Amino acid sequence: MLPIEEVFPKLVKQLEHHETVLLQAPPGAGKSTWLPLNLMKSGQYQRIVMLEPRRLAARNIARYLASQIGEPLGQSIGLRIRQEVKVSAQTRLEIVTEGMLTRMIQQDPELTGIDLLIFDEFHERSLSADTALAFALETQAALRDDLKILVMSATLDSERYQAFLQCPIICSEGRSFPITHKYVPLKDESQWLMQIAPVVRQAIQEESGSILVFLPGQKEIRQVANTLHSAFEGEPSIHIAALFGEQDKSAQQAAIAPAPIGGRKIVLTTNVAETSLTIEGIRIVIDSGKRRAAVFNLKTGVTELKTVSISRASAVQRAGRAGRIASGVVYRLGSQALFERRDAHDKPDILSSDISGLVLESKVWGTQVSELPLLDMPSEAQLKQAQQLLMNLEALDNQGKLQPLGQQMQRLGSEPRFAHMLLKVKSLETELPGITLLACYFMALQDSRVKSVPELSLALGQMHHNAPAAFTKQLKYWCKRADISHQSDDLAVEHLAVVVALAYPDRLAKKRGNGFVLANGAGVNAHSEFWQSAPYLAIAELGGHQGQSIFSATAFEPDELADILPYLFSQKTVCEFDQKQAQFLHQDRVYLGQWIFSAKPSKSPLDEVARTQAWCSIITENGLSIFTGYSDCAQFMIRMQLAAKYYPEEFPASREEDLTAELSQWLEPFLSEVKQFSQLKKLDLKNALLTRLDWQKQQRLNALLPERIAVPSGSQIRVQYQLAGPARLAVKMQEVFGMLQSPLLCEGNVPVLMELLSPAQRPLQLTQDLAHFWQSSYKEVQKEMKGRYPKHYWPDDPATAQATNKVKSRM
């Protein structure tokens, strides 16, 4: 009996009385197989759709469920994943993945005929799952109050999820097979991969059964596989297999199958085997503690794959694979203390991904991302970057409004870049014969991830003449989607720059120094072997450190694109002052993204407004220190900032960034007659700053924070203000005899630190309490000063003595 069977009656009852239910069940409880099948058999639901985050798991679950009821896949049990759809009118339980559920809701917001949505392994928090759940919740709230939603996982952040969904939670136990945990401390964390094979050999000796080894990616799988093949070369009972998402189905099934009778299996896998997948015979897990994470670089617009440590929740999932069929053991690389310091949960995709697809989906849905019921909200920077990309792809206009092409891109179901490319090449086929097939070749190369040379034209040529099976499979898929034949004698590589530009308009690059600048303004490094003299590159793939290495590209000339893709270019008349040339540049420019494609002297006259704006740009870029009078204004600016700090309702914000942001309000009137840079530098900055305050506020500022303070001798002493801490008053000691308290400025908000000086203007004492100084330390100062400066007045009782700025003979 599976553990899920015990809570099944309670779950059914909760689904009857609540729209949404949360199920927490560890690995092996039967939540992904027994539960959906029995919900279907219960007869309470006309049609159930279950979302699985991984294609491999979705395919295997669907096939397993179909076999359980003795039917071929596509009848009662259906499957809908990329490149494979097996459903029929008889389908009552459909397993879907990736963006399939989102597409179903977009096409039919009422989800006609569907009674129950199941979100399996929701803890993986894929962007597609978050999007689909948000839309499903909106459908449930606005259109289908009878729609049931079941969210389930083995390692839920239960309290947080329950608070978000406002629903009951049901907890099920996992299988009762115990798991022993063994930790393998590492002397050198950077050499973790070298320790995998020794741990495998240790496990072979210490334990029985087959082994599942979790590694970050295919590169590590190949390296460990080579080492193990050598280590077990003379042992035919040891069988080594690999399992990852990009394999063909036959290789995946071979990896999942049990070891031959009398043999043992070592399965090297990525986190594709972490959830919803049972591999026959496994009772040992070796966990590297690593995974490959996609991290989106907002600056370059590139998703980088980084090897990172997994969370504790993921480690629990991996360990659970060892206890599915019998008592098991997990070997964890690293110490237990290091394990316990890991994050509790992995960072969800929505906080670390390109969200252009989500933004487009929300636009088609008729709302903003910020208005969707999302468990985590992406940052403003992510939203801004995504919207700009969609504008570059013609999905949105400059005001962010959805365009007809954007609606077509969403219906196509591919990621926005490739959807745009596929739609546009179809419309360009008459003008550029062969470009559609070329685009399919390009997509197949991207998807198949076969090794190829960095120069795209050479890489596609190689695929055209001698393509591996993985590439051919993807090529057939994309040609089918484009409704063309995948066979052709020629490949129109002369149109390659257009194809790349349609998918990656932000990666059209111009040579700059030792590297290139992208159309989005980011800089990338030049390639060490290719494109050494190319002035322009159409880049398809970037990666490496901070996404600044070029992995695949082709050279191009912007003129090639100007006529075919005019929307990539923008025209602007620019007036700016070039400090190196010490002259104004008044030009009509053509931009490709953020870099200048061409520039020529403008035929329009240089007017006062344009020149003033140019000066403002220089000041904004360089700061107010560009003015020769800046140092003289420093104290005035500090006084204005202090006034704004303590009296924000009376005085405007006056930090330098505030001032430069408001140049048009206070400085532009002083710039109208400035025609030379030398004139600009000599501008009376303080006079301009004073215009921010009317006469009454100027008087108020002088009263609160005066430039000078009168001391008992009659002298007016300048005050030195600072933004943090007391103001400072440097004054000869004789001039403050008879003064018992240090001044308080700004109605007591700004204390004054007295710096008492000798007749030679040298510091003698720092104090904020004159009365205490006169009664204490003064005697020692008096004794020393009488001998050094006998002509000056050093009274015995300075607290009552007459202040003076003269020597004794002239008093």
Could you report the per-residue pLDDT of 462-499, keeping only the tens digit for each? 999 888 988 998 999 999 988 898 888 889 999 999 99
Spatial separation of the C-alpha atoms in residues 165 and 29, rounded to whole Å: 23
Residue 409 has pLDDT above 90, yes or no: yes
Report pLDDT digits (tens) over 203-220: 999 998 899 999 998 899
Mean per-residue pLDDT, 24-41: 88
CB 49 within 8 A of CB 101: yes
Q: Is the dihedral of CA 213, 215, 218, 223 positive or negative?
A: negative
Task: Report DSSP state, residue 346.
Answer: P
CB 583 within 8 A of CB 577: yes
Quote the pLDDT of residue 148.
96
Spatial separation of the C-alpha atoms in residues 653 and 643, rounded to whole Å: 9
Q: What is the DSSP annotation of 696-747?
A: HHHHHHHHHS-SEEE-TTS-EEEEE--SSS-EEEEEEGGGGTT--S--EETT
Q: What is each CA distance from 792 to 273, 653, 758, 774, 808, in whole angstroms?
A: 91, 46, 10, 17, 5
Mean per-residue pLDDT, 343-360: 90
Max mean pLDDT among 83-87, 198-202, 296-300, 806-810 falls in: 198-202
Total-model pTM: 0.76
Nearest to 455 by CA among 500, 421, 489, 417: 500
Q: Going from the N-terminus, what domains does the chain have, and what CATH number goes with each?
A: 3-171 (3.40.50.300), 179-351 (3.40.50.300), 621-703 (no CATH), 706-810 (no CATH)
CB 547 within 8 A of CB 562: no
Residue 22 has pLDDT above 80, yes or no: yes
Query: Coil, strand, or helix at residue 635?
Result: helix
Mean per-residue pLDDT, 642-647: 94
743: CB partners within 8 A, 6+ apart = 709, 729, 752
- What 659-667 contacts at long range (C-beta under 8 Å, 24+ apart), as own/partner pairs, is 659/624, 659/689, 660/619, 660/620, 660/623, 660/624, 663/616, 663/619, 663/620, 664/616, 665/692, 666/691, 666/692, 667/616, 667/619
CB 397 within 8 A of CB 391: yes
Nearest to 35 by CA among 138, 103, 120, 160: 120
Q: 3-state DSSP: the chain helix, strand, coil percent, rounded to 5?
A: 40, 20, 35
Name the residue type at position 253: Q
Label residue 183 exposed, middle or buried (CB < 10 Å: 0-12, 13-18, 19+): middle
Looking at every residue in the chain, the average pLDDT score rounds to 90
What H or E segment, with its residue span, contains residue 331? Answer: strand 328-333
Q: Which residues pair with 212 in a beta bridge?
A: 267, 285
pLDDT-wise least confident of 168-177, 715-724, 726-735: 168-177
Quote the pLDDT of residue 715.
94
Label residue 731 exposed, middle or buried (CB < 10 Å: 0-12, 13-18, 19+): buried
Helix 380-392 to helix 416-428 angle (10° resolution) is 10
